[in-house]
Amino acid sequence: GTPMSDRLAQQLDFIVQMDALKQVFRQTLLIGDRRAENDAEHSWHLALMAIILREHAAHDVDITRVLSMHLIHDLVEIHAGDTFAYDEAAHEDKEAREQAAADRIFALLPEDQERDMRALWDEFEERVTPEARYAAALDRLQPLLLNYHTDGAAWKKHDVRHAQVIERNSHIAEGAPTLWEFARQLIDTALTEGKLAG
C-alpha cells in the first residue's frame, strides 16, 4: 500500500493524544449514577445541545463553527486541568495556563489546521461573534441542567450560592436570551427547592 502521508500521520497522532480528554474530570456529576462527568462527555452534550437548541440562538449562526468550538474548546484542559467555575483562586492564572496549553495542543496539528483550530479556540474565549456567544451560552447552561437534576450536588459540595450562580451565568443572555430566561427560572427554582443556598 501507499505510505501514510506525514500530514495524515500528524492528524492521527493528534486524534490519539486527544483521547486523554476522556480522563479529565469535571465537578459536575452525571444525572444517572452521580459520578463525575468527563470533558469528552461534556463536549458531546454541548454539541447535541447546539443542534437541538439552535432556534434559540440570539442570531443566525454557522452551526459547523459552533460545533467545532464545542469539540475543541476543552482540549486545553488535558494540560491545564479543569478549572471549577466557582474557584476564584484557580481563575487567577486560568487564562495563562490555558493559553500555554493551547499552544502545545494545537501545535500537534498540520500548520493550516493549527491556525484554524487556534483561531476558533480564541474566538470562543473572546465571546464576540454570534457563534462564540451561542457556544458559550450552552457551555454555561449544560452544567446548570446537570446541577439541578443532581439536586445541586456540585453547588452544595462547594458552598455555591444563588447570587454567584446568577452572576456566573448571566452572559447566557448574550448568546441566547430565551435560554437565559429559562436558566434564571431554573436557578430560582433550585433556591426554593433547597438545591441551592441563598
**pLDDT of 135 higher than 90:** yes
What is the pTM (predicted TM-score) of this model?
Answer: 0.95
**How is residue 193 annotated by DSSP?**
T
Instruction: Give burial (CB, 10 Å; 0-12/13-18/19+) of 101.
Output: middle
**Which residues lie below 8 Å from residue 75, measured CB to CB, with a gap of 6+?**
18, 21, 105, 121
Looking at residue 1, what is its pLDDT? 64
Q: Report how far residue 169's alpha carbon sits from residue 101's, in angstroms, rounded to the nearest whole number.
A: 25
Joined together, the cell numbers standing for residue 67 give 460545533
Kindly state the helix (H) or strand (E) to which residue 28 belongs, with its residue range: strand 25-29
What is the C-alpha radius of gyration for the chain, rounded to an integer number of angstroms? Answer: 18
Which of 22, 27, 28 is closest to 41 using CA atoms?
22
Mean pLDDT (the chain) is: 96
How do strand 25-29 and strand 36-38 relate by DSSP bridges? antiparallel
Joined together, the cell numbers standing for residue 155 give 453547588
Looking at residue 88, what is its pLDDT? 82
Q: Band of the pLDDT at 69, cuts 50, 70, 90?
A: very high
Phi-psi region for residue 127, left (φ > 0), alpha (ψ -120 to 50) or beta? left
pLDDT, one tens digit per residue, over 15-68 is: 999 999 999 999 999 999 999 999 999 999 999 999 999 999 999 999 999 999
Q: What are phi and psi of 5, to 5 degrees?
A: -70, 155
Count CB neighbours of 131 within 10 A: 26
Q: Is the CB of residue 68 less than 8 Å from the CB of residue 120?
A: yes
Q: Is the CB of residue 11 less than 8 Å from the CB of residue 116?
A: no
* Long-range pairs for 98-103: beta carbons < 8 A, 24 or more residues apart: 98/125, 101/76, 101/77, 102/76
pLDDT, one tens digit per residue, over 86-123 is: 888 877 888 999 999 999 999 999 999 999 999 999 99
Q: Report how far residue 41's alpha carbon sits from residue 54's, in angstroms, rounded to the nearest whole number.
A: 20
Q: Is the CB of residue 145 less than 8 Å from the CB of residue 19?
A: no
